[in-house]
């Protein structure tokens, strides 16, 4: 059961002018489910993306990078679930390119104008013929209003489709942002989540879109973790269709640029946090805020050490205020000169540890009360500076083991 996450009512999702979305059944892994999605972009769209830093990155990630670097305007995206096309060698690269060529041919675009994405099982050959055969149906299905259908079609072990929208007046005109994402395991994005797609109709200098994607990912998808496994396929793509009436944005630091980024970051964080709320087996949504560090990096290290500790995660699952495990994780986070006697720990409003030891006023009943909640904030004060950072994670439950022990069966 996801933590405080319900599918967004499709009527609450705004279409993005200049983008049409279609889905189809290719039978990649299982019959009878929508497993291929296409995004068709009107001419003039600007596309930026960030991708996994896993050295064992999947074939479609390699092809995406090439096509984005190539400078050919991007006219379409194609996504399949059921197979990650990772660990597939040269054949995998060929399959990803064949998919691009087939979609391009139907849209009168070169293969290099198409970005491919895959998610699912690793090291199985991609059934490229079945995907190509499904493309005409996906194109025929394409509508601006189909974001919710796409959110559903890109799911793997997700239990809830993830889609969010926002709208604001920027540069004198209404600007729309809509995005979708999927998790739900192998989640410790390092540049981007498993898969995330955002569209905006904003007018923005095409050269800024790639940096916008990177900055959004850094403050959203790169701050969540489910199991610490950085996927081979993480991809996050931003499309700016340039269809809105706003005064063109030529700097991310201008007032309009900042307003657009804030609007998009709101959606990106919802998408990223939704992945954690629907993390495999998650029963709790945990915010880990580390403050008082010398650098943001050391705060992040400490936050991730807590977020990845199986002992901390199982304690959250059990609602057991075994909070020394949190301090132990801070201790091994790799902050070389950390002085334990400077550390304070709060669980929501409960002051648990002071200067490295149990707070004299701490009562286990108070810790217990917070631990029973579905949403918990862990606050660690390092007491050595003014930097801070925050990550979001979930607990480790029986269900995580069951899902991942059974994933392929």
Active centre residues (catalytic)? 193
Instruction: For residues 286 and 276, give the distance between their C-alpha atoms in angstroms, rounded to a whole number.
Output: 9
Smallest distance from its own copies to CB 369, Å: 16
Verify binding: residue 400, its own copies, rule CB under 8 A. Answer: yes
Secondary structure of residue 70 in the 3-state scheme: helix
Kindly tell me which of 240 and 335 has the beta carbon lying closer to its own copies.
335
Q: Which of 13, 19, 23, 86 binds its own copies (CB under 8 A)?
A: 86
Verify binding: residue 309, its own copies, rule CB under 8 A. Answer: yes
Smallest distance from its own copies to CB 380, Å: 11
Q: Say which residues have a Cβ less than 8 Å from residue 364's Cβ, sequence separation at least 6.
A: 321
Q: Which of 315, 347, 376, 394 binds its own copies (CB under 8 A)?
A: 315
- From the list 21-29, 191-199, 238-246, 393-401, the region that binds its own copies by CB under 8 A is 393-401
Question: H or E element: which one contains 101?
Answer: helix 89-107
Kindly tell me which of 6 and 336 has the beta carbon lying closer to its own copies.
336
Verify binding: residue 78, its own copies, rule CB under 8 A. Answer: no
Kindly tell me which of 164 and 317 has the beta carbon lying closer to its own copies.
317
Verify binding: residue 121, its own copies, rule CB under 8 A. Answer: yes
Site size toward its own copies, by CB under 8 A: 71
Q: What's the order of all strands across the beta sheet hosting 195-200?
A: 46-51, 235-240, 195-200, 173-182, 162-170
Verify binding: residue 94, its own copies, rule CB under 8 A. Answer: no
Instruction: For residues 326 and 116, give the distance between their C-alpha atoms in angstroms, rounded to a whole number.
Output: 40
Kindly tell me which of 245 and 310 has the beta carbon lying closer to its own copies.
310
Decide if 184 contacts 273 (C-beta within 8 A). no
DSSP 311: H
Q: Which of 30, 311, 372, 373 binds its own copies (CB under 8 A)?
A: 311
Verify binding: residue 1, its own copies, rule CB under 8 A. Answer: no
- Please report the DSSP string for 138-182 in residue order: HHHT-BTTTHHHHHHHT-SS-SS-EEEEEEEEETTEEEEEEEEEE
The contact mask relative to its own copies for 142-171 (x = CB under 8 A, - = no) is ------------------------------
Verify binding: residue 329, its own copies, rule CB under 8 A. Answer: yes
Verify binding: residue 365, its own copies, rule CB under 8 A. Answer: no
Q: Which residue in 396, 352, 347, 338 sits closest to 375, CA to CA? A: 347
Smallest distance from its own copies to CB 305, Å: 9
The contact mask relative to its own copies for 269-308 (x = CB under 8 A, - = no) is ---------------------------------------x
Helix ranges (H only) for 202-323 are 209-218, 255-277, 296-308, 310-317
Kindly tell me which of 244 and 335 has the beta carbon lying closer to its own copies.
335
Q: Which residue in 181, 236, 177, 180 sits closest to 202, CA to CA? A: 177
Q: Which residue in 390, 377, 176, 370 sits closest to 269, CA to CA? A: 390
Verify binding: residue 385, its own copies, rule CB under 8 A. Answer: no
Q: Which residue in 270, 190, 268, 184 sits closest to 235, CA to CA? A: 190
Decide if 391 contacts 288 (C-beta within 8 A). yes
For residue 300, what are the β-bridge partners? none
Q: Which of 338, 350, 391, 394 binds its own copies (CB under 8 A)?
A: 338
Residues 18-77 that bind its own copies (CB under 8 A): 53-57
Verify binding: residue 232, its own copies, rule CB under 8 A. Answer: yes
């Amino acid at each position: 059961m996801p933590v405080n996450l319900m599918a967004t009512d499709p009527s609450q999702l705004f279409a993005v002018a200049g983008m049409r979305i279609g889905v189809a059944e290719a039978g990649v892994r299982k019959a009878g489910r929508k497993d291929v999605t296409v995004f068709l972009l009107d001419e003039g769209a600007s596309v930026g993306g960030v991708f996994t830093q896993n050295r064992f990155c999947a074939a479609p990630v390699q092809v995406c990078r090439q096509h984005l670097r190539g400078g050919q305007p991007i006219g379409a995206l194609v996504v399949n679930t059921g197979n990650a096309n990772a660990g597939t060698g040269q054949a995998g690269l060929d399959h990803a390119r064949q998919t691009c060529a087939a979609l391009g041919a139907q849209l009168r675009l070169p293969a290099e104008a198409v970005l491919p994405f895959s998610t699912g099982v690793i090291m199985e050959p991609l059934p490229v013929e079945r995907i190509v055969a499904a493309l005409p149906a996906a194109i025929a299905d394409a509508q601006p209003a189909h974001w919710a259908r796409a959110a559903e079609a890109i799911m793997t072990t997700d239990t809830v489709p993830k889609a969010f929208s926002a709208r604001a007046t920027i540069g004198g005109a209404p600007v729309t942002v809509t995005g979708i994402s999927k998790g739900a395991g192998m989640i410790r994005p390092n540049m981007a989540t498993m898969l995330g797609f955002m569209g905006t109709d904003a007018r923005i200098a095409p050269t800024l879109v790639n940096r916008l994607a990177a900055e959004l990912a850094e403050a959203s998808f790169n701050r969540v973790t489910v199991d610490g496994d950085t996927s081979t396929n993480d991809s996050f793509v931003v499309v700016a269709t340039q269809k809105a009436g706003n005064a063109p944005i030529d700097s991310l630091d201008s007032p309009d640029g900042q307003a657009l980024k804030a609007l998009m970051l709101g959606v990106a964080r919802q998408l990223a946090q939704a992945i954690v709320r629907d993390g495999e087996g998650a029963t709790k949504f945990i915010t880990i805020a580390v403050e008082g560090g010398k650098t943001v990096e050391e705060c992040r290290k400490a936050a991730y050490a807590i977020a990845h500790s199986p002992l901390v995660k199982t304690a959250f699952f059990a609602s057991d205020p075994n909070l020394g495990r949190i301090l132990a994780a801070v201790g091994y986070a790799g902050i070389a000169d950390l002085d334990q006697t400077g550390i304070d720990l709060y669980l929501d409003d409960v002051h648990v540890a002071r200067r490295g030891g149990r707070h004299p006023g701490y009562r286990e009943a108070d810790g217990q009360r917070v631990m029973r909640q579905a949403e918990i904030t862990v606050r660690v004060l390092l007491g050595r500076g003014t930097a801070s950072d925050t990550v979001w994670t979930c607990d480790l439950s029986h269900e995580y083991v069951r899902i991942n022990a059974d994933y392929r069966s």
